[in-house]
């Protein structure tokens, strides 16, 4: 009797977990997709470094408050790994992405960034001994072919944009950081790891704080609102909802939902900024996502 009574409770709890996880994923996709558009708005009045500083030093302060209250202390052996991952995932990633988005539209930029799972699989092959396989290499070729099309697409025809390569570098930094974080997530809660990464990763940006404050004071109101939006929604809330999703779902299952970020970013860029992708850029974006899908789906089969 007790066993029969416990079954509906368990199913109900699982249903609740799924709803929370999917709600968290939807929030993450919307906020992370919108960040590519808001970055485009803030660049100009702010340099790439100033925008990175305004966004992540403020987020680092929020992370510090969390760490002071809850005090999740990593082991000494983890600090070097955590520090390298943080600098790559925050300072290096943000500066490369912001610099790239000076000329690369929000939609194409999000497609390029979403090649990160391909980089992660490649790095894991050598660092963790995971087998890549022929589908992995085929997907990588398709994905990077798409990035190449984005890099040379423009309204005026074929023209190489080196900033697309910088965004690809941001994806590489994110992939390396993800591989470095993997052991840490087994020893600390995801939110604690995220907080430490936000705090440590913002430290290299500290020297730019005075110039950033002056730039924000001289910037239009929409830029300051844009920075506030980036700090609160894509960064603080976006990282939190991502941590919730990772806690409820497997990492692979949660990551698959992030394929929705580039199409949403492209739509927001079109509605908000009037950024219409070129035919070549649209084909490149589809190829980039197709390659990532091949690496993550067909490789497993």
What pLDDT is attached to residue 276? 81
Give the Cα separation of 59 and 14 in Å (integer): 32
Nearest residue to 147 (alpha-carbon basis) of 102, 181, 116: 116
What pLDDT is attached to residue 15? 60
What pLDDT is attached to residue 300? 58
Q: Encode pLDDT of 158-202 as tens digits.
A: 456 788 899 999 999 988 888 888 788 778 887 898 899 999 999
Helices 116-127 and 133-152, interaxial angle, to 10°? 140
User: For the chain, what is the mean pLDDT?
Assistant: 83
In the numeric block, the tokens 């929409």 are attached to: 222
Q: Which residue has the higher pLDDT, 215 or 129?
A: 215
What pLDDT is attached to residue 174? 87
In order of 124, 142, 286, the CA distances from 301 in angstroms are 18, 18, 22
In order of 92, 135, 186, the CA distances from 132 in angstroms are 27, 8, 23
Per mean pLDDT, which range of 45-59, 119-133, 270-284 is the poorest?
A: 119-133
Q: Which two tokens stand for residue 119?
A: 């980089």
Element (H, E) at 179: helix 162-185
What pLDDT is attached to residue 60? 95
3-state secondary structure of 43: strand
Q: Place 5 in a pLDDT band, splitting at 50, 70 and 90.
A: very low
What pLDDT is attached to residue 47? 97
Give me the percent of the chain exceeding a pLDDT of 70: 84
Give me the percent of the chain exceeding a pLDDT of 90: 37
> Cα torsion for 9, 13, 19, 21, to the nearest 10°?
-170
Q: Which two tokens stand for residue 268?
A: 């927001």
In order of 10, 12, 65, 133, 144, the CA distances from 6 in angstroms are 6, 10, 40, 44, 50
Q: Which two tokens stand for residue 25?
A: 């994923």
Beta bridge partners of 88: none
Q: Encode pLDDT of 70-114 as tens digits.
A: 989 888 888 999 999 999 999 999 999 999 999 888 888 888 887
Q: Which residue has the higher pLDDT, 48 or 109?
A: 48
In order of 17, 103, 119, 170, 224, the CA distances from 89 in angstroms are 28, 22, 14, 8, 24
Most confident of 11-15, 139-143, 211-215, 269-273: 211-215
């Amino acid at each position: 009797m007790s066993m029969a009574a416990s079954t509906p409770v368990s199913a109900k709890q699982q249903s609740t977990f799924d709803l929370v996880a999917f709600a968290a994923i939807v929030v993450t996709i919307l906020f992370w997709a919108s960040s590519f558009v808001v970055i485009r708005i803030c660049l100009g009045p702010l340099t790439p470094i100033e925008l990175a500083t305004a966004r992540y030093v403020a987020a680092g302060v929020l992370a510090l408050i969390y760490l002071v209250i809850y005090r999740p202390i990593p082991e000494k052996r983890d600090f070097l790994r955590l520090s390298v991952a943080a600098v790559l995932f925050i300072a290096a990633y943000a500066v490369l992405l912001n610099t790239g988005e000076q000329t690369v539209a929000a939609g194409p930029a999000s497609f390029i960034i979403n090649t990160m799972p391909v980089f992660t699989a490649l790095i894991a092959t050598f660092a963790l001994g995971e087998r890549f396989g022929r589908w992995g290499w085929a997907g990588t070729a398709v994905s990077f072919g798409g990035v190449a099309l984005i890099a040379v697409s423009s309204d005026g025809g074929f023209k190489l944009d080196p900033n697309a390569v910088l965004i690809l570098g941001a994806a590489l930094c994110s992939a390396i950081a993800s591989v470095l974080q993997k052991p840490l997530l087994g020893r600390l809660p995801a939110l604690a790891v995220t907080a430490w990464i936000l705090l440590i990763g913002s430290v290299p940006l500290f020297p730019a704080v005075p110039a950033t404050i002056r730039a924000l004071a001289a910037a239009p109101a929409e830029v300051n609102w844009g920075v506030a939006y980036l700090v609160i929604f894509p960064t603080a809330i976006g990282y939190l909802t991502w941590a919730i999703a990772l806690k409820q779902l497997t990492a692979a299952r949660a990551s698959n939902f992030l394929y929705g970020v580039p199409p949403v970013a492209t739509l927001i860029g079109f509605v908000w900024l009037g950024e219409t992708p070129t035919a070549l850029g649209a084909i490149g974006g589809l190829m980039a996502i197709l390659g990532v899908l091949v690496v993550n789906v067909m490789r497993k089969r």
